[in-house]
Amino acid sequence: MRVLVVEDDEKIAAFVENGLREAGFAVDCTDDGEQALHMALAVTYDAAVVDIMLPRLDGLSLVSTLRHRGIDTPILILSARQTVDDRVTGLQRGADDYLVKPFIFAELLARVQALVRRGSKTVEASRLVCGDLAVDVIHREVDRGGQPIDLQPKEYALLEYLLRNRGRTVSKTMILEHIWDFHFDPQTNVVDVLVCRLRNKIDKDFPVKLIHTIRGIGYAIKAPHVETR
């Protein structure tokens, strides 16, 4: 999933960015409120982490503007302000959650993951299933036919993205936008390599293949239709 981080404190920004990347998210960062507005209007993000004190456009104004423009990206506000009134104001301006600094990254990650699940347009459940393949998105556990499968962060991110679009074809560009960052060349073969790695783990040792290549378009995950009598 793709997250926008808007934070002008370099240490905090790097801390959040690195942690989210290690958890399998694609992350775009900026320290400027106006730049964040342009980015959020141009790219569909699965969640955003926004500091209140920002140059040029403060975090609350950023949130209000995005909501006014019809952008419903789930937003987590970060702030050193700890009063109830501050939290209420943030939520009233359109934020979905509020986390006070200093914070523990594990809590921020859990809140971001909850926002992504809540904001998903395709799947609300905490368990994604395709045939005998199951993913527990809360604990990030994968198994097929009852056999646990260990995935690297990018492999897991791709599998979750495919499952949230189960039965639909997702293009290489869509995968790049949701799992990698802007600096990747769209002509690169990283998507093909990642799909190959994922197939080796969830399809290779099973007679029924779930990941399908849609020639000239992209990839889809789907289980074969089983007729019942």
What pLDDT does 30 receive?
A: 95
Number of other residues whose CB lies within 10 A of the CB of residue 134: 17
What pLDDT does 172 receive?
A: 83
What pLDDT does 132 receive?
A: 93
- List the one residue out of 76, 153, 168, 91 whose CA is nearest residue 123: 168
Which parts of the chain register pLDDT below 70? 82, 119-125, 181-187, 225-229
Q: Give one word for 90, left, alpha or beta, with left for phi > 0 and alpha for psi -120 to 50.
A: alpha
What pLDDT does 187 receive?
A: 61
For the chain, the average pLDDT equals 86
Q: What pTM, to 2 d.p., does this model score?
A: 0.64
Instruction: Tell me the backbone φ, ψ of residue 102, rounded to 5 degrees.
Output: -75, 155
